[in-house]
Amino acid sequence: MKLSVPKETKLKENRVALTPDVVKGLVKKGFEVMVEKGAGVNSFYADDAYTDAGATLVDNTLCYSNADVVLKVNAPQPDEISKMKKEAILISFMFAATNPQLVDACTVAGISAFSMDAVPRISRAQKMDALSSQANLAGYKAVIMAADTLGKIFPMMTTAAGTIKPSKVVIFGAGVAGLQAIATAKRLGAVVEVSDIRPETKEQVQSLGGKFIEVKGDDSIKMEGGYVKGVSEEFLKKQQELVGKHVKEADIVITTALIPGKKAPLLVTEEMVKSMRFGSVIVDMAVEQGGNVVGSELNKNVVKNGVTIIGEGNIPSLLPLNASDLYAKNIETLLLHLADKDKFKWEMTEDITKGSLIVHNGKAVHPSILKLVNS
Give the residue numbers marked as catalytic.
Answer: 121, 126, 129, 132, 227
* H or E segment to which residue 4 belongs: strand 2-5
Rg (CA), the chain: 22
**Separation CA 203–CA 287 (nearest Å):** 28
Q: Decide: 99 and 106 in contact? Cβ < 8 Å.
A: no
In degrees and rounded to multiples of 5, residue 198 shows phi and psi of: -95, 110
Half-sphere exposure of 246 (CA within 13 A, CB side): 24
Q: Decide: 161 and 155 in contact? Cβ < 8 Å.
A: no
Query: Could you give the 3-state DSSP secondary structure of residue 324?
Result: helix
In degrees and rounded to multiples of 5, residue 138 shows phi and psi of: -65, -40
**Separation CA 137–CA 24 (nearest Å):** 25
Q: Decide: 360 and 112 in contact? Cβ < 8 Å.
A: yes
**Of 247, 258, 62, residue with least CA distance to 171:** 247
**Separation CA 239–CA 237 (nearest Å):** 5
- Alpha-carbon torsion (283, 286, 292, 298), positive or negative: positive
The side-by-side arrangement of strands in the sheet containing 2-5 is 56-58, 32-36, 2-5, 69-74, 89-93, 112-115, 357-360, 363-364
Torsion angle, alpha carbons of 26, 343, 337, 79, to 10: 80
Q: Decide: 197 and 228 in contact? Cβ < 8 Å.
A: yes
Angle 98-272-157 from CA coordinates, rounded to 5°: 110
